Structure 1
């Protein structure tokens, strides 16, 4: 959202700002800066005259000059590297468990009759997962910023904010679900033209919309509850909400999509899919009417579509790549969701923290956060390789060269994700757009494409799967 209003501090507040422009604690994950030091143009979305900012989970023994008295001039946001490591590592371990389950499920459902009969569903999966993940991560990012700014502390504003955002999520999910289903089907016809009837198109779009709506209700409610719990226990939701929204979103969405596709294909010769499709399309203006009347999301509904649909176009490349190579490289269905999901989670944590800092008119200690997030990624990748190897999940043909190749790919992708998260978030802010709504969709879709491409190139370079699946064209 473009915000053209300026925040004017009193002279005394300016003096306070000038007296506390540096955090005396070098290990703090976030430092205090003046308004003029933060990345360019727009002022904070939530002004300090309305909300006092203090990041949950920071060390209360380390106070800035104004934090002791609750003054608005000096805002100190800490949260040491230790806090970040603890919160992010715990969350990412839980998240990677969900990603492993999603990868295992994808490896299984690709052989189901419905996915063989309507092969475009394979193309739909990464597109829909990316779109749905972006919607929930945007919600998590908005909730985290609002929570850290104190917007959710008042029962009145909390209820209105949450209701508005859940309604917005339904509107977005139904819209992107319909577009994703149709877009995936068109891509499938372009890649391998076959005789397709209206029943298959209806099943694709209806499955996509039903899946998007139901999973949005489940995950949106979970995200709201999670952020409120984090606020209560003084934990920074920026370090937790986005990864869980993405990872469990993939698993829940894949389960629901597979279930609806299996159910609807049984009635392919009846008008059931078409009737459900009409009903779902009729719900879109209903949700739009409600959202436009809610002051907390009435502006978001106008601006959030561009990045989401741009992400869909970008993610379609990953979908086409996955559909082409999923049978040529054994175990790719198991590895790809975890690689892209875990790396996307790390990037989303970083982007969410930067977005909150920009809204609060403070500055993230970029190098410290980047180092911590890069290092926390290593043991989690080791855990993933160990779990998949020991439990023999998927059809992965593990060897020393494959492990080394995967490690190189994952390390490279994490570095790229951190660089992209910082660059994209700050760039949107500089242009006057709210990064809570713009940064994450573009970031995660780019990571999906780059991760899938790097994985394919790595497998190809190693000659992986060629003995059983043939050499990629």
Structure 2
């Protein structure tokens, strides 16, 4: 395949996924609009949003890259099965995704405290991040693996799918689960 054909192939595979990512980003923005109503109740909430979404991309982008490389090298089959490489990658990303969520809550609280800015209680910020982190971790892992495996089976290069898929899943479900976790913490914390 020459350079021109390779360019067309990459463009053909990536463009539909990028358009879906665009729609997902717009949807995430609409959900953020709903979260703004809770900012007064939980000062510091908006500080956590960009960091939370960025870490979804970092953690699960690494997972997607590992899976993509495993598929290319023939170390993984494109299906959900008990495979030590797959299990280790999934467990590592799950632990990282949840762990970094808790760290986001703690560091946000400390930063606001050091700056002398108003902040929600530490347990509220950590609670919001923990709930959202667990929920997004589950959806990101299952959704990302399903998209990569299905795309690979249909002849798509998983490298072209990982970035936009992680971004879209992370933004859409990250914002939805942040909104849900804010609602749960509002109900559970008087």
Taking a change above 3 Å as real, the CA distance of residues 155 and 143 of structure 1, as seen in their structure-2 partners, is closer
Q: SS of 1:211's equivalent?
A: helix
Which residue of structure 2 aligns with residue 211 of structure 1?
Answer: 132
For residues 96-175 of structure 1, the aligned pairs below 5 Å read 96-110=22-36, 112=37, 114-153=38-77, 159-175=83-99
Taking a change above 3 Å as real, the CA distance of residues 133 and 156 of structure 1, as seen in their structure-2 partners, is closer
Which residue of structure 2 aligns with residue 16 of structure 1?
Answer: none
- Return the TM-score normalized by structure 1: 0.38
- Find out whether 1:265 has 2:186 as its counterpart: yes
Which residue of structure 2 aligns with residue 81 of structure 1?
Answer: 7
Taking a change above 3 Å as real, the CA distance of residues 220 and 154 of structure 1, as seen in their structure-2 partners, is closer
Pick 1 or 2: higher relative contact order, CA cutoff 8 A, min separation 6. 2
Q: SS of 1:180's equivalent?
A: helix
Which residue of structure 1 aligns with residue 155 of structure 2?
Answer: 234
In structure 2, list runs of 5 or more residues that go unmatched.
none
Q: SS of 1:240's equivalent?
A: helix
Taking a change above 3 Å as real, the CA distance of residues 86 and 124 of structure 1, as seen in their structure-2 partners, is same
C-alpha displacement of 1:156: 10
Q: Does the 8 Å CA contact 1:137/1:242 hold for their aligned counterparts?
A: yes
Correspondent of 2:103 among 179, 199, 220: 179
Q: Does the 8 Å CA contact 1:151/1:157 hold for their aligned counterparts?
A: no
- Find out whether 1:202 has 2:179 as its counterpart: no
C-alpha displacement of 1:229: 1.4
- Return the TM-score normalized by structure 2: 0.90
Q: Does the 8 Å CA contact 1:166/1:221 hold for their aligned counterparts?
A: no
Taking a change above 3 Å as real, the CA distance of residues 238 and 26 of structure 1, as seen in their structure-2 partners, is closer
Q: Does the 8 Å CA contact 1:147/1:227 hold for their aligned counterparts?
A: no
Structure 2 distance, partners of 1:223, 1:154, is 12
C-alpha displacement of 1:267: 2.7
Q: SS of 2:39's equivalent?
A: helix
Q: SS of 1:234's equivalent?
A: coil
Taking a change above 3 Å as real, the CA distance of residues 232 and 192 of structure 1, as seen in their structure-2 partners, is same
The structure number with the bigger radius of gyration is 1
Count of residue pairs the alignment pairs up: 190
Structure 2 distance, partners of 1:134, 1:167, is 15
Structure 1 residues 264-307: Cα deviation after superposition (integer angstroms, max 9, x where no partner):
123324xxxxxxxxxxxxxxxxxxxxxxxxxxxxxxxxxxxxxx
Structure 1 residues 101-146: Cα deviation after superposition (integer angstroms, max 9, x where no partner):
0112212321x1x321212010011111111221111111111111
Taking a change above 3 Å as real, the CA distance of residues 224 and 203 of structure 1, as seen in their structure-2 partners, is same
Structure 2 distance, partners of 1:208, 1:188, is 16
Which residue of structure 2 aligns with residue 50 of structure 1?
Answer: none
Structure 1 distance, partners of 2:45, 2:155, is 42
